Amino acid sequence: MKKMIDHNLQDIRKNISTAALQCGRDPATIRLVAVSKKFPASDIKKAIEAGQFLFGESYIQEAAQKKTEIGDAASFHFIGHLQSNKAKLAAQIFQMIETVDRYKLAATLDKELKLQGKTLDVLIQVNIGQEPQKSGVLLQDAEELFKQLIPLSNLKIRGLMTIPPYHDNPEHTRPHFQALRMLAEELKEKGYFFDNNHVELSMGMSSDYTIAIEEGATLIRIGTALFGHRPTR
């Protein structure tokens, strides 16, 4: 098993480099988020041994348990749907929350952060395919949300995140990645991000990450291609 994670990680790193270089990007500007949800902490440890430091988790309780086991040997991003009543715990566990998509959640997080005396990097999740079942702010509501978030000074809004509609042919996700990048550029022009010279775009998963890289991804979230098929809960 260690061998497999090790091997998969090397393959993915190679693919990231190749895709980046082919479109004239520096591979070092693309960070791999190893999506370890539903996999045991022992798999995270194997990936750490193979040189991976950044992981993505979708469930707060599961992540809290892993954080206890792994400690500071890894950095965790939250990529699942966050309920406001879990904001306190989330603010303690994660280096970044990639799925802020509504004012109430952001305000609760900000309040918790003030109590904990710290700031937190966040991304705004955009429902780029306008899918009713998915989380994320709609494209046309994004700017209004950014305006509402301005006073929440303990949140550092680093960029945008999306989970586009699934397609068997990954080429079909390309327009969604382009739409996210264009939205980021618009918001950047208006100065809405914490650092408008360095805006993060979290997009691309196992099946389409090389396309996401071509379209400007700075964070790619990969589970299956690294750890294998997720065990059913």
Per rule CB under 6 A, is residue 223 in the interface with ligand PLP? Answer: yes
From CA 201, how far away is CA 215, in angstroms rounded? 10
The pair of three-digit structure tokens given for residue 105, joined into one six-digit string: 């959640």
Task: Pick the piece of the chain touching ligand PLP (CB under 6 A) from 89-97, 110-118, 188-196, 218-226.
Answer: 218-226
Give min distance, CB of 58 to ligand PLP, in A: 5
Taking the least distance from each CB to ligand PLP, the nearer of 124 and 154 is: 124
Residues 106-125 as x/- pattern, contact with ligand PLP by CB under 6 A: --------------------
Q: Is 82 left (phi over 0), alpha (psi -120 to 50) or beta?
A: beta
Task: Pick the piece of the chain touching ligand PLP (CB under 6 A) from 68-76, 87-95, 110-118, 215-223.
Answer: 215-223
From CA 74, how far away is CA 50, in angstroms rounded? 12
**Quick one: which of 137, 113, 119, 124 has its CA closest to 193?**
124
Q: Which residue has the tokens 């509504």?
A: 102
From CA 152, how far away is CA 144, in angstroms rounded? 14
CA distance readout (Å), 50 to 44, 105, 155, 161, 187: 10, 35, 32, 26, 37
The site that binds ligand PLP (CB under 6 A) totals a number of residues, namely 12
Residue whose beta carbon is closest to ligand PLP:
223
Per rule CB under 6 A, is residue 58 in the interface with ligand PLP? Answer: yes
- Binding ligand PLP by CB under 6 A: which of 20, 35, 126, 187? 35
DSSP states along 91-103? HHH-SEEEEE-SH
H or E segment and range at residue 147: helix 142-149
Per rule CB under 6 A, is residue 217 in the interface with ligand PLP? Answer: no
Residues 128-167 as x/- pattern, contact with ligand PLP by CB under 6 A: -----------------------------------x----
- Binding ligand PLP by CB under 6 A: which of 79, 96, 106, 199? 79
Alpha helices in the chain (DSSP H): 2-22, 41-49, 60-70, 87-93, 103-116, 142-149, 174-189, 209-214, 224-227
Give min distance, CB of 225 to ligand PLP, in A: 6
Degrees, nearest 5: CA angle 29-32-35: 160
Task: Pick the piece of the chain touching ligand PLP (CB under 6 A) from 18-26, 63-71, 141-149, 222-230.
Answer: 222-230
Per rule CB under 6 A, is residue 96 in the interface with ligand PLP? Answer: no
* Site residues, ligand PLP (CB under 6 A): 35, 37, 58, 79, 163, 205-206, 221-225
